[in-house]
Every structure is written in C-alpha cells, then in structure tokens.
Structure 1
Amino acid sequence: MRLWVCLRHISQTFLEFAGPIMPQRPVQKPARPFFSSGPCAKRPGWTLNALDGALLGRSHRAAEGRARLKDVIDRSHALLGAPSDWKIGIVPASDTGAVEMILWALAGERPIDVLSFESFSGLWAQDLRDVLKLDNLTVHEAPYGELPDLARVDWSHDVVLTWNGTTSGVCLPGPDSIPAQHEGLVICDATSAAFAMDLPWERLDVVTWSWQKALGGEAAHGMIALSPRAVARLEQAAPRPLPKIFRLTNKKGLIDAIFSGDTINTPSMLCVEDALDGLRWADAIGGLKALKERSRRNLDVVARWVAETSWVEFLASDPTQRSTTSICLRITAPWFTAQAVDTQQKIVKRLTGLIADEGAGYDLASYRDAPPGLRIWGGATVEAEDIEALLPWLDWAYESVSMEYAA
C-alpha cells in the first residue's frame, strides 16, 4: 500500500512538472482533404486535363455551345430519373437564383406554406414574408436538427420546402413526406439532395439544384426542373415585373429555348465542361444508384465513429431524417456546452484550424448561422477512405483544444 501511494505521488509530481501530455498526432492524412459543402470536392481522379476540351473563346449561342449546354440538360434529366414530360433548364446565380426566380414568378397565386428548418429554407420564408410581403403565408418552423410538423402543412396550398437542409444535416425522410395528391404546387430546393438521394418526382412540381454541390461542379450556375403543372401555372400566372434574369415566360408563354440550352445570360463554358465531366463520371460508375451508395457509405463511416465517440453527436437526432451529404455534428462535451456561443464559435474555429494547418481537412466548421459545430460533406465525390482518415484528426484536434479551454 505504501509503495502504491509513493508511486502515485511520484506520478503526480511528474505531471505537475512536465505539464499535460499532448495528444498523439495522427500519421495518415486523407488523400483528398476536401470536405466543403459547396463548392464540393471534385470527382475522384479529377485533374485540369478534364477541361481540355472546353469550348473557350466561342459563343455559347453558337451551335456547338448550345449543344454542350443541351448535353448538360439531357444528361442531368436522365441521371436524375426525371419524368420525360418535365422541362429542365440552366439558370443564373446557382440554386439560390433558381429558387428565387420561381418564387418571384409564382408566389401569391395561391396561399403558401413554407418549411423553415435551416438557413436557406429560412431565407425563402424571409423573402416571401419581408420582401414580397405576402399576407397568405404560413411558415412552419423547427430548430436546427429537427423538421417541422409535416402534419400541419396544408397541401392545398403551394408548398416551398428544402429536401435536404445543407446547414442542418436534416432531410425529409422519404417520398411519403408529401401526399401523392395535392392541389398546390410543391416547390423543392434540392441542391444538396440531387444526385445523392431519391427525389419523388411524381410528388413534386418544381425542383432546383446547382452545379457546385453533389457532383463537384464549379459555382454560379443553377438548374430548374418544371413539371407540366408548374409550366401551366407559369403560363397562366398574373404577370409580375421581373428583371430579365428571372423571366421564364413572355407574351407567348414559357420561353422554351431556356430548356434546350439557350441560357438567359452568358454561362462559363469552362464550367459547362466541368459539369459534363461530373455527369460522365456519374454515368460511368453506375448512375444514380452508385452515387447514392457512395454517399450512404460516407454517412455510415461517420455514424460508426460518432457511436464510439463521447464528445460529439449528430445534430439530427432522428436517423430517418439524417442527411447523407451535409453531415452536421454538435459537440456535446459539458465544458464546451457551458461556453457562450461566441466562445463556442472561437473553439470550433481553433479546432478546425488545427486540422487545416496540418493539411488533413478543410472547411469543416458548421455554417455561420447554424449552431457551432462541425460539418463534413459526404456526397458521392468524397471517398469513404478519406473520411476514415479524417476522423482521428478530429479526435486529435478536439483533445488539443480541450486542453486549452477545459482547464
């Protein structure tokens, strides 16, 4: 007994003299440490050589330019499995522009319900309420990590929803989230769901996404898909003054040229070539089924780590509502949760900065409006092996910052 007490005293004395033991730094790093939720990682094997055939120095309105833009539309249509009678077009200003143009064109024709449960869905609600100043608007809100009560949605109204909350890691649990029959139009922002999740096209009327998300394309270009019901509503809607980049119709009805490659404004043909490269890659690996499997595998890797880790949990507590692409995590350690929000943000910045400084992972902090935490993009262009290599670095960085802040 005396020997044990003596040894403990020696050990404590050594620790007091030497200070805390620094956590062991991992050795292996992700081959591609790119985990941003937009612009997202390029497809595996991508190099600048993929853009060698870009139609540079040529007009996008030349026959060759239109053909490539139409190729993006046709490949997207086929890969996503959209119905043949839907119209798909390329529009300005990424997914944000695509959502805004349809809201400004259609909002107010019928009462509108909006699902607001993260930053961008909240933005659509804010625009409808504060900018368009609609008085027939119902906003169904939920905090980060949760979905609103879908039973309270009036599907006789137009409904605006985000299929996957890019900034919350919460997604609709499946096609039955939307009734098979509904009077209003369902307008779906699908920017971080398209090419990674099943979209119930038969229950939707407008779907939007961007090139910069699931297939790792370059920014600034959005896409919009319209059902026959949506086209009919657009053509019948009372005209509202709109800037040119928002106009989908003219006196003759829908501007069909937009949906065959004649874009509203000048697109980057370099970005077009990159979008085609991503679409060709997706086809080559097995199409939408393979993309979904890769994304699901990435979430599974994180889920196993979370189950074994004491200091972190998913922001989305319900597994049926958990995103496979924007994987959002919250830090649950008592010393962290006891901090003020601004201090929590500093801690997350320090934690993710340590990993970035090592070149082991970039862009891992949660979105600026979301609760302070972590976000790992798990879309199909990210390799599961790279996420596996990242996770020890998260543990290392957490242990490092806890020594600084938890004392």
Structure 2
Amino acid sequence: MNAQTVAKPLVKPARPWFSAGPTAKRPGWSLAGLPDDLMGRGIRAPEVVERFAHGLRLTREVLAPPADYVLLYTPGSDTGAVEAALWGMLGERPVQVVAYENFGLTWLADVKTHLGLEPEALTAPWGELPDLSRVDPKKDVVFPWNGTTSGVRVPDGDWIADDREGLTICDATSAAFAQPLPWAKLDVTTFSFQKALGGEAGIGVMVLSPRAVARLDAYRPDRPVPKLLRLTDGKGFDRALGEGVAINTFSVLTIEDWIDALDWARGIGGIEALIARTDANYAALAAWVERTDWIDFLPARPEIRSTTSVCLKFVDPRVTGLDEAGQKAFVKRFKALLEGEGAVYDMEPHRNAPPGLRLWCGCTVETADVIAATPWLEWAFETAVASSEIS
C-alpha cells in the first residue's frame, strides 16, 4: 500500500468527534434544547437543589447501582471525586494502588507524596495489567476500572474478595455507562460527566456503598481535608450531599446538560442499550484493526482491551523505525491531516502514552461514524508517511 493507492475518501463521519474527554455529545444534542429558567438562581434555592437532586435520581435510574448505595456530586470532575475519596477515606488501614496507566500512576503519587502514606504499588507496563491476585482483601485498594490512557481495562471483578475488609476505590470514569460494573465489588466508584455521557466538564460523581459511608462516619484522618474534598460534617458523612446539595457552586447549565444526556440514555433503553452501543462501536473499530497491517492494539490480550478508550500502536517499520520524537511528530502530522479535512478530531493518544492513535468508542458515538472514520485513518497514514516531514 502506498500514498498513490489510497485516495482521499468521499464520505466523512457525520459526527467526527472521537476525543476521550470531553467525549462526543449525545446524538441530536442541541444547546437550544436545554432549559434556562434556573439560570442565575442561587445554588441553594429550593428549585435548584431539587433540579440537582433530580439529576442524581436519573443517574441512579440509568446506572442502576444497588438501592442502598449513595450518589453525590463533587467539584473537579472525576479527578475531584477520586481525590475526595483518597483524602477522606485512606489511612485507616494499609493501601494498595493498581497503576497501569497515567491516572493510576497519578493516584499512586498523590497517596504517597501528598497524603504521606506508604502505598504498595501494583504496576505494569503500558498495554498490560498488574498481577491482580496480589490484591490483599485486608487492605484498601485504589484502581482504574478502565485505563483511558492505555486502552486497558480489568476483565472483571472476580479478583475482588466478597468478604474483603478494605475498601475498593474505583476510578470508573471511562467505564461508567459503557461497561458492566459489578457493584457488589465496588465501595467507591467515581466518574465525570464529560466522559460518561458526553456531558460538560467540571463535575464528578461518587457512588458510595454502605461500607464506604460507614468509613466516612467512623474514620477521621489526621490530616486536614480541603473544603472542596470534604465529604463529612461534624457527625460523619454529610447526608445532605446525597440529596443534591453541592459542596461548592456548580454550574446549573452543566447540570441541565447532564439531565439531557440521562434523559436520552433512559429513552434508548438504559444501561443495557448504552453498553450495546459501546460494544458495537468497538467491534467496528476492532474489525478494521484486524484487517489493517500498519496498526494494532496497544494491549496484546483481547480480554483486557478497553471498549471505550481504544488505544492503538503503529506496527509499520516506516513509523516504528523512527525515534520517539519522530513518532510523536508523525502523530502530529496525522492529526493535522484529519482535522484539516474535518474528518476525525482528537484521535491522538494521551501526552504521556506511547505514540499511536486513540479513538473513543463510547455510547454517544454512532457506529456508522466509526466505520466512516477508518478510510480516513488509512488515507492520513499513507499521506503522513509520504510527507517530507518524516522522510
């Protein structure tokens, strides 16, 4: 295959958005479709609090955690939600951190450097998982369910003990609403609007099991917890948070956008339909990878490959023969070609990940657009290979 044999495709994706966060808006989304009657109202106004509470009720209805789990909003998207759990819950018992991509490594560094704890690190190279049999049920464990930056996910929750003594703190931001989550195995589950359903950024969600609530009720860390991360009042867990009360001032427009996404999700069939849409998108992209000789999955093992943040690596010697700087320059050229045509946006990997491609295949993406994107990827690859920038 060469540049002369790959013609520029004629058909573009109708919605060429493949960013891993913020992700594509739901099909048919329109800013004009969001209500604005509460814009400018106080965050504590009863009507505003009720609207926030409505968003939590819808989240529960679509995501379907157990009835005795508590949902609440946090500032700072998924990062804020994870940090609130780390700062407010860790330290009672030893902790392990499962780190196999950028964000797991971030949580590991924060637990060690900022909380001053001595976590046991369970690490693996990019594209792999650590040995999960090393997870100790007597210890707290922090882990990403799905590695947004590596394209790796845990295959299931079988490695988590039912009779565990520690808490499981799961960063599920690129798995929620797209992959099955075994709620009985999860004590703290976090995600953000802008990944889960293509919402606007800035607000995170925590889903707390009764065991997590009990930890907040009984445990007081010996470190000061910043107000933005504080989940407790003078009596223990602040129950008002589970009723839609905000820790700080949130954007009402962002909440309305989240409610819009949830209404769409409920309308198409709920969590089962969302997972099915994700699986169909992944299958379409995987079929293309299997028949294309210059690209492959970053994770070698199929059972640990993410179905949302699909990370790919170059296997063509014309690219792999370049040094790291040359490969990154190639990705930059690749991206510029696609975006210059308005064909595929934001397909580059995370800045700390190996050079390659990353395409979001979550539930707000249309399968037809995944299929339409692949000829453009082929065109951009051969055009970038032929360009003088990498000659």
Q: Same fold (TM over 0.5)?
A: yes
Q: Which runs of 5+ in 1 are unaligned?
A: 1-18
In structure 1, the residue matched to 2:93 is 110
Match of 1:195 among 170, 177, 193: 177
In structure 2, the residue matched to 1:363 is 346
In structure 2, the residue matched to 1:101 is 84
1:310-325 equivalence runs, <5 A: 310-325=293-308
Deviation for aligned residue 1:21: 3.4
Deviation for aligned residue 1:54: 5.2
In structure 1, the residue matched to 2:333 is 350
CA contact (8 A) 2:326 2:390 kept: no
Deviation for aligned residue 1:291: 0.1
Following the alignment from structure 2 to structure 1, what is the Cα–Cα distance between the partners of residues 90 and 252? 32
Relative to structure 2, which stretch is displaced further, 164-173 or 331-340? 331-340
1:247-396 equivalence runs, <5 A: 247-396=230-379
TM-score by length of 1: 0.93
Following the alignment from structure 1 to structure 2, what is the Cα–Cα distance between the partners of residues 300 and 363? 20
> CA 1:325–1:366 in structure 2 vs 1: closer, same or farther (change >3 Å)?
same
Q: Which runs of 5+ in 2 are unaligned?
A: none
Matched letter for residue 221 of structure 1: I
Q: Secondary structure at the match of 2:146?
A: coil
- Whether 1:51 aligns to 2:31 is no
In structure 2, the residue matched to 1:13 is none
In structure 1, the residue matched to 2:127 is 145
In structure 2, the residue matched to 1:5 is none
CA contact (8 A) 2:133 2:159 kept: no
Match of 1:222 among 204, 213, 218: 204
CA contact (8 A) 1:95 1:222 kept: yes
1:24-173 equivalence runs, <5 A: 24-53=7-36, 55-135=38-118, 137-173=119-155
Matched letter for residue 145 of structure 1: G
In structure 2, the residue matched to 1:403 is 386
Following the alignment from structure 2 to structure 1, what is the Cα–Cα distance between the partners of residues 36 and 251? 13
Instruction: Determine what percentage of the aligned residue pairs are the same residue.
Output: 49
Deviation for aligned residue 1:95: 0.3
Pair member with larger Rg: 1
Deviation for aligned residue 1:20: 7.3
RMSD of aligned alpha carbons: 1.4
Following the alignment from structure 1 to structure 2, what is the Cα–Cα distance between the partners of residues 153 and 253? 28
Matched letter for residue 247 of structure 2: I
CA contact (8 A) 1:205 1:226 kept: yes
Following the alignment from structure 2 to structure 1, what is the Cα–Cα distance between the partners of residues 340 and 5? 17
Q: Could you list the per-position Cα deviations for residues 250-297 of structure 1 after superposition, in whole angstroms to 9, with x for gaps in the alignment?
A: 221111111101101011000000000000000000000000000000
Q: Secondary structure at the match of 1:120?
A: helix
TM-score by length of 2: 0.97
Q: Secondary structure at the match of 1:104?
A: helix
Deviation for aligned residue 1:60: 2.2
Q: How many pairs does the alignment contain?
A: 388
Q: Could you list the per-position Cα deviations for residues 329-359 of structure 1 after superposition, in whole angstroms to 9, with x for gaps in the alignment?
A: 0011112112111111110010011000000
Following the alignment from structure 2 to structure 1, what is the Cα–Cα distance between the partners of residues 215 and 264? 36
